[in-house]
Amino acid sequence: MKVIKYITVFTVALLMIGCNTEDKTLAIEVFETSEGGHKLSKITQFKTTEEKVVINLNPEQKFQTITGFGGAFTEASAYLLNKLSKENRKKIINAYFSKEGAHYSLTRTHMNSCDFALSNYSYTPVEGDKNLEHFSIEEDKDDLIPFIKEAMAASSDGFKIFGSPWTAAPWMKDNNAWVGGKLLPEYYDSWALFFSKYADAYKAEGIDIWGFTVENEPLGNGNNWESMHFTPDEMTNFVMNHLGPKLEADGKGDLKILGYDQNREHLKEWIDAQFKNEATSKYFDGTAIHWYASTFHYFPEELQYAHNKAPNKLLIQSEACVDAEVPVWNDDAWYWKKEATDWGFQWAPEEDKHMHPKYAPVNRYARDIIGCLNNWVDGWVDWNMVLDTKGGPNWFKNWCIAPVIVNPDTDEVYFTPLYYTMAHFSKYIRPEAKVIGLENSDEQLMATAAVNPNGSTVVVLFNETKTPKSISLSLNGKNVGFAIDAQAIQTVVIPKT
């Protein structure tokens, strides 16, 4: 019979102090989510393992400042919350926004409709209304706005929210359609005014908008749901000569403008256009990116290039989800298995199919967030916060998975392992934290670290292998030993000393 030995953090501390009267041991708290069943569980006993990993933290080596982590307010999610009992609605909102929950700090929402809306709609429905005299956010008042306001009430220290348009109203476009086409030049000023009016309308509802992306997926989405196309130079021109000056003239120059807002494989060409010179760069506060180009690759070269080209600008992952999948209900094990497929598994061009193999959803989230943090990304935003058991509602039937799945007919809620994966970052790495350097002896263990404004240090580890690993963690001459389970993500919190 094989005997499994356990060791506690306290025992490790005693062993490491030995006869030395000076305490050289790090005090830590460890939280783990694992294939074995932990769900952001506090761990105090650890298995001894043959696999040994040494991690040395270097707080003197500072990288980007964190903007935040979170998800998106969509009409689909808000509609579903309206159909749940008050108890479950509150439970979900608190789980995402309260300090006791995931404590989301950076969020997104759509301006006008998107695929995760119940229908096509615009805040500017009157054709030829160049001055937008009939602008109205009435469509949002039954669902989106109450959702956002309840989230604000649940949050102890607030969160940032940025808006993203999928398309202008068809009458402003060269194809007079919701899908595809381009903004007609005669409506560039009207479209810039649209952003300003949106910020005013939301402020009147008690919601301060932090910023915008200029256009969700300007390269298009295969002509499936709401979209509007820009080239890199066209978007840069719009921001330089219309959107930036308009927000500035209206006293809204502090609102953030993020360019691009699509997949990372084309990031370089957009970065080159936006940050070509001082004039093109003036109104861009940063760049937004998505992850849909691959189920495993996080494009570190492209991320490094973006930072090096514009080192003082934001770099925010603005959308990610398990797409092209109907949610798996109440089966945590599925989220750890390499059975999920994405859009590219069937539809990617033959030369790109190798970028879209089957994957485990938890692995993809954990790998991407850590990979982003280790390559200058300062914010990471998930897509829908809540979807139903079909992966909607979605007017185009573009089914996806959210971290929280609900059955409104039975008033049931399922917190998938993706919820806990997001919380490993959002709950513990707070806005204004500084990502710091680290040395990691094991290439198979992903690791990232940050120092929070309150002085605590947070390390997030991801062990994708089937083997538990013993960790020796060092900071400022102090050390502690513990272990991470197989197929597990772990957050280690080191209080300020």
Whether residues 132 and 254 fall in one domain: yes
436 with 61: CB under 8 angstroms? yes
Question: Are 164 and 244 members of one domain?
Answer: yes
- Work out the pLDDT band at 274, boundaries 50, 70, 90: very high
Contacts of residue 338, defined as CB under 8 A and 6 or more positions apart, other chains included, come to 357, 358, 359, 360, 363
Looking at the predicted structure, is the pLDDT value of residue 9 above 60?
no
User: In DSSP terms, which residues pair with 57 in a beta bridge?
Assistant: 438
Q: Is residue 7 part of a domain?
A: no
pLDDT for 12 equals 44
Residue 18 lies in a domain: no
- How confident is the model over 429-437, as a mean pLDDT? 98
Q: Same structural domain for residues 401 and 424?
A: yes
Taking only the tens place, the pLDDT of each residue in 406-419 is 999 999 999 999 99
Please check whether residue 24 lies inside any domain of the structure: no
481 forms beta bridges with 472
Residues 168 and 108 in one domain: yes
Output the pLDDT for position 7: 42
Residue 288: inside a domain, yes or no? yes
The domain spanning residue 460 has which CATH number? 2.60.40.1180
Final residue in a domain of this structure, among 430, 458, 480? 430
Cis bond upstream, residue 393 (ω within 30) = yes
pLDDT band at 21, cuts 50/70/90? very low
HEC assignment per residue over the chain: CCCCCEEEHHHHHHHHHCCCCCCCECCCEEEEEECCCCCCEEECEEECCCCEEEEEEEEEEEEEECCEEEEEECHHHHHHHHHCCHHHHHHHHHHHHCCCCCCCCEEEEEECCCCCCCCCCCCCCCCCCCCCCCCCCHHHCCCHHHHHHHHHHHCCCCCEEEEEECCCCHHHECCCCCCCCCECHHHHHHHHHHHHHHHHHHHHCCCCCCEEECCCCCCCCCCCCCCCCCCHHHHHHHHHHHHHHHHHHCCCCCCEEEEEEEEHHHHHHHHHHHCCCHHHHCCCCEEEEECCCCCCCCCHHHHHHHHHHCCCCEEEEEECCEECCCCCCCCHHHHHCCCECCHHHHHCCHHHHHHCCCECHHHHHHHHHHHHHCCCCCEEEEEECEEECCCCCCCCCCCEECCEEEECCCCEEEECHHHHHHHHHHCCCCCCCEEEEEEECCCCEEEEEEECCCCCEEEEEEECCCCCEEEEEEECCEEEEEEECCCEEEEEEECCC
Q: pLDDT above 70 covers what percent of the chain?
A: 96
Supply the CATH number for residue 273's domain: 3.20.20.80
Q: Return mean pLDDT, the chain.
A: 95
Average pLDDT score over residue span 142-160: 98
Instruction: Tell me what pLDDT residue 47 has.
Output: 85
- Tell me if 19 is assigned to some domain: no
- What pLDDT is attached to residue 22? 63
Within-domain flag for 303: yes
226 and 313 fall within a common domain: yes
pLDDT in tens, 153-189: 999 999 999 999 999 999 999 999 999 999 999 999 9
Residue 369: CB partners within 8 Å, gap ≥ 6? 69, 317, 380, 421, 425, 460
Structure confidence by residue, pLDDT tens digits, 366-381: 999 999 999 999 999 9
- Mean pLDDT confidence for 268-286: 98
- Which residues form the domain of 454? 29-62+436-494
Confidence of residue 89 (pLDDT cuts 50, 70, 90): very high
- The percentage of the chain sitting over the pLDDT mark of 90, rounded to a whole number, equals 94
* Mean pLDDT along residues 136-146: 98
pLDDT band, very low/low/confident/very high, at 385 (cuts 50, 70, 90):
very high
Domain final position from 430, 461, 482: 430
Say whether both 160 and 293 belong to one domain.
yes
* Structural domains counted in the chain: 2
Q: What is the pTM of this model?
A: 0.95
pLDDT tier, 23 (very low <50, low <70, confident <90, very high otherwise): confident
**pLDDT > 70? residue 15:** no
Single residue among 408, 430, 452 that ends a domain in this structure: 430
Tell me the per-residue pLDDT of 300-312, one tens digit each, with 9 for 90 and over.
999 999 999 999 9
Residue 371 belongs to some domain of the structure: yes
Task: Answer whether residue 241 shows pLDDT above 90.
Answer: yes
362 shares a domain with 299: yes
Q: Are residues 233 and 341 in the same domain?
A: yes
Summarize the confidence of residues 199-225 as an average pLDDT.
97
Region 138-160: what's the mean pLDDT?
Answer: 98
Does 14 map to a domain? no
